[in-house]
Amino acid sequence: MGIIEKMRLDGKKGFVTGAARGIGKCTATAFAEAGADVAIVDLDFDEAKKTAAELAEKTGRKVIAIKTDCTDKEQVDAMVDQVVKELGGLNFCHNNAGICINAPAEEMTYEQWKKVIDINLNGVFLTDIAAGKYMLANGGGSIINTASMSAHIVNVPQPQCAYNASKAAVIQLTKSLAIEWAKKGVRVNSISPGYIGTELTLNAPALAPLIEKWNAMAPMGRMGTPEELESICVYLAGDTSTFTTGSDFIIDGAFTCF
């Protein structure tokens, strides 16, 4: 069997949070194209159903939609139970749901701070633990968390202290769980994307001046695309990455190199 065949995810089951659109939709598509059955997990259930139907038709895999608030433990636990029941197991997950609120620190409300931390960090913790408990009891698996290059640098010119702090914490959570579960068959890694041009990002008029500045600063002179995150996630979800755990993969076009 060649490396391409080994990279496939045939027979594997997984879920992606924040998968109705953007990066999550793109990685869910890659998982399904690689042969996995996938759950599209999102708070926007209508869009999640559209994405699930689209991917099922495109790939021929079983793709389901599940409405979940990732900050609600009961909903997260129920989501994992539904994935296991409807897909027949759980081998990998990509915990990708997140938000960013740009506000100067001295003007940011405590409610804004808590919202970012709750979704970006607490939500990842809840999904990691719910998925991890199943994997620990059922032969192992792979967990992928979305961090950010903002865990490694302080972005400019936009002020986003809550986002930066939450993503740095995601990396440390990832490493901590990787150590705890290293001998128990559950691998935990994170990806740290740079600026990624999703449909929502590129079509937001308010972001146009920022995108111009980001591209001017970027060594490659451009934002990344969601598709440029696919291969690392497929690798981490599959069996060719069995010695890879506790790692953070920066995919930023060298933005954090200076």
Domain ranges of the chain: 3-252
Catalytic residue list contains 192: no
**Residues 25, 167, 190, 241: which is the catalytic one?**
167
Of the candidates 13, 25, 148, 241, the residue annotated as catalytic is 148
Is 163 one of the annotated active-site residues of the chain? yes
Q: Using CA atoms, how far apart are residues 206 and 256, in angstroms rounded to an integer? A: 24
Question: Residue 47 above 80 pLDDT?
Answer: yes
Q: How many CA atoms lie within 13 A of 63 on its CB side?
A: 28
Q: What is the mean pLDDT of residues 201-211?
A: 87
pLDDT of residue 214: 95
Query: Given this model, what pLDDT does residue 52 score?
Result: 98
Global confidence as pTM? 0.96
Provide, rounded to the nearest whole percent, the portion of the chain with pLDDT above 70: 100
| Percentage of residues of the chain with pLDDT beyond 90 | 93
Edge-to-edge strand ranges of the sheet holding 92-95: 63-67, 37-42, 13-17, 92-95, 141-146, 186-193, 248-251
Whole-angstrom Cα distance, residue 125 to residue 173? 8
Segment 84-115, tens digit of pLDDT: 999 999 999 999 999 999 999 999 999 999 99
Least confident interval from 39-48, 142-151, 192-201: 192-201
Distance (Å, rounded) from C-alpha 170 to C-alpha 41?
19
Separation CA 45–CA 129 (nearest Å): 23
The CATH code of the domain at 3-252 is 3.40.50.720
Question: Parallel, antiparallel, or unpaired for β 186-193 and 248-251?
Answer: parallel
pLDDT at 161: 98
Report yes or no: 229 and 148 within 8 Å, Cβ to Cβ.
Answer: no
Average pLDDT in the chain: 96
Determine what percent of the chain falls in helix, strand and coil, rounding each to the nearest 5: 55, 15, 30
**Residue 24 pLDDT:** 97
167 has catalytic annotation: yes
Q: Is the dihedral of CA 66, 67, 71, 75 positive or negative?
A: negative
pLDDT-derived band at 29 (thresholds 50, 70, 90) equals very high
Looking at 163, 166, 190, 235, which residue is catalytic? 163
